[in-house]
Amino acid sequence: MMKIAVGSLLIFLFFCFPSFGQTDSLTFSFGKSGGEHPKPYILTGKITSKDSGKPIEGVGVHVDGLFTGVSTDRFGTYYLTIAPGFHRVVFRHISNIPIFTNISLYENAVVSVQMVEKNFELEGVVVLSDEPDRNVRNPITGVTKLTATELRAIPAFLGEADIFKGLQLLPGVSSVGEGTSGINVRGAKADQNLLMMNEVLVLSSNHALGFLSGFNTDVTENFTLYKGNLPANFGGRAGSALNILMRPGSKESWQGSLGVGTSNGKILLEGPVLKDKVSVIFGGRISNVNWLLGQARDLDIKASRLNFYDGYLGLNWDLGKGHQLEANTLVTGDDFQFSDQFGYEWANRISSVKYKGILGENISISGLLADGNFDNAFFDPEGVDAAKVENGMRYQQGKVSATWANDKLALTGGFEGIYYKGKPERISPYNEESAIQREQVGKERGLEYSGFLSLEYELGESIGFVGGVRYSGYTQLGPDTVYQYNPNSPITGSEIIGENPVSGKIKSYSGFEPRFSLRQNLNPTLSIKLSYARLFQYIQSVSNTFGPTPIDLWQLSTTYIPPQRSDNFSLGVFKNKKDNSWEYSIDAFYRTSVNQVEYRDFAQIFLNPHMETELVFGRGEAYGAEFLIKKNIGVVTGWLAYTYSRSFFTSQSIFSEEQINQNKRFPSNYDKPHEVNFILSRKMYPRGLFNFSVNYATGRPVSAVSASYILNGGLLVPDYSGRNQYRIPDYFRVDVSYTVEKVFIKKGDSLNFSIYNLFGRRNAYSVFWQKDGDSQQLRPYQLSILGSIFPSITYSIKWGGQ
């Protein structure tokens, strides 16, 4: 593997990139310098391409000396409040030549410019924040931002660009293995990651047993991942936060696209309901993979089925004078059955309305209302035990915030509340031949609330500070039954001595969550960053499998299940070179958590009215470092990332029934010390794009059979090692893809060829033990979810637009 990593590095460094000049300075003058100018003025305008005339999104607009700036929106517009006087304003974009202007500003003004593209046709995979030098300037460490366009340049499973698969190629992000949902960020559990769509909570969103997410990249604009240090306006999880921003529809013209591939078919339609005022966007996908299952040689796979769908509808209304209203709904669903043995079903819906407005020259406000519904089930379709088990969660969310900002200082404050209502767990017979009796177990309700205040301050060119505090709380609400346990005894089912029905408030928790980040620039292209954040988590996913699955339960905090609390530290060095074309970074992290949840051996998770009897609480610890070399501009782009990450758990109970590994520290299920990701994207003239990726990771820990004994009667009894004392084989995968544009028509179509797992490696998901033939010995066997090459072809065509 070391040879592979070194070889990848040499390939990456081999490619060079062209150098680009800059335009001469432009001079503008507005108003008269004489007289009094007690207030700041507004500078706005629109940035377009000189070649096509189309607006350019993500142009950084910076004011030298004041260390402030904004970025243009999807329509190329920017809005900047600055003090009267003479300013040097710079317009920068990753694929365009920068523009330098000298502006004398003594009244509100409009400056619109046209940018010229650099001398390459298509940049490949680009991982950037809004501004090219944000890697060095952003005070918060561990922030990653990708756009939907950049995701499509990464080879993907079945040819479908996917947010979570793209994230797993970035430093500090991994997963338990193929066939599991969710991600692990800096040694955190999957349920410790806050997932949001336009700041609205999403409990679960995945397709095909976790191979794809429920977010169609055609309707997503970008996403931002905060690894450990969350802004004060985000909370509710003890690990990280991922906010997926859905894009608005075009307000200028109707347009759309249609795609057909080996995994799914999809459609996109967007346009103005009222030109320049109201727009709508719709995107939908439906699976067509069952024909692939039918080609398998294995009879069980041939008899299986996998169906999924998702749809997104968004409405964007420009109310005028800086006021905007958004409404959107996302629906996803899956249906999977493996032969006649087992199956899963799940569905998710998130709906929200959001208002954003600018009040005066320094104040902006926003508010949202949202409603979410998550249902899932698993079933056994055959025999007298054929049954279906259902559960889910319904929730409502409200949030309001306001920001006051000037050239150097920004203050943001607000409130947020989420009401959870767990749906009863039900078991019912799957068919008429089943002997299963209907049964139902009630689930908890709770209210999570918070208030937050953050401050962002620039102490000149070299020092930036972001500080904040979040006060969060949670109350479990009745009616519910609180079980009473024998005092001075472990919490087990055999120690229950009574039941206490309770209505109203049952149990409350709360706490302060201080956070700060500090950036010190040693020079304009080199900075050191330090950050700390405390986070509380009042809801967690419960599962007794290796990794999170679509049918995991969401468990609220109760009298016996306290909230998790984590403390996150980070220290990093960040360097940019050659006009931000190259980025280098080293970012070390350390986190501890209390009340982290693990599960007792052979835990009974479903239809359990007293879940606390199956859980173990203890201390979690994670530490490591992320190393990144990244090339942003040129015919060849990409990155090489290495992550060293350790994650451990230690139970702390005095009772043996509540201990794991005798209270000795052991690696978490997702502890993978070494991970290397290499991504290469090369423009192939005149209309092609080649993408190549390599992923290597240490195998995750497992508990192994260390010995076995034969009792009287020939019964074979295995003796297991301590928890997670062994590891499965290391993971290695290579993916490639090639995209050709303008295949059959001059505008608007493309053809993508992808190969997932190019070498057909049978990467292990788990290891299990069973008898070897007629012998009396247990032998290990490797379970692989994907053990072959997965090629795919996708054809897309677009129409409309300007």
At 41-100, the pLDDT tens digits run 888 888 888 777 778 887 888 887 655 567 787 778 888 878 788 888 888 886 778 888
Sheet with 60-63: strands ordered across: 26-30, 96-105, 85-93, 60-63, 68-71
The residue-averaged pLDDT of 344-362 equals: 89
Of 451, 214, 198, nearest in space to 325 by CA: 198
Give the highest mean pLDDT range of 456-465, 515-524, 564-573: 564-573
Residue 163's nearest CA partner among 222, 122, 208 is 222
Q: What is the structure's pLDDT at 155? A: 73
Buried b (16+ CB within 10 A) or exposed e, 100-133: ebebbbbeebebebebebbebebbbbbbbbbbbb
Residues of the chain with pLDDT > 70: what percent? 88
Coil, helix or strand for 290? helix
Phi/psi at 321 (5° precision): 55, 45
Tell me: pLDDT of 128 over 50.
no
CA-CA-CA-CA torsion for 669, 670, 671, 677, nearest 10 degrees? Answer: 150
What is the pLDDT at residue 20? Answer: 37
- Asked if 15 and 683 count as a contact pair (C-beta separation under 8 A), the reply is no
| Band of pLDDT at residue 118, cut at 50, 70 and 90 | low
Q: Write the Ramachandran bin of 89: left for phi over 0, alpha for psi from -120 to 50, otherwise beta.
A: beta
pLDDT tens digits, one per residue of 722-740: 888 888 889 999 999 998 8
Average pLDDT, integer, range 463-489? 93
Q: For 424-445, how does the pLDDT look when each residue is reduced to its tens digit (9 = 90+)?
A: 999 999 888 888 889 999 899 9
The predicted-structure confidence for 680-702, as pLDDT tens digits, reads as follows 988 887 788 898 999 999 988 98
* Structural contact between residues 161 and 155, judged by C-beta atoms closer than 8 angstroms: no
Looking at residue 474, what is its pLDDT?
A: 98
Q: Which tens digit of pLDDT belongs to each residue from 231-266?
A: 999 999 999 999 999 989 988 889 999 999 887 899
The pLDDT, as a whole number, for residue 742 is 84
- Is the whole model's pTM more than 0.85, yes or no? no
Residue 14 has a pLDDT of: 39
The pLDDT of residue 757 is above 90? no
Q: What is the mean pLDDT of the chain?
A: 84
Give the three-state DSSP class for 456: strand
Question: What would the mean pLDDT of 460-476 be, rounded to a whole number?
Answer: 91
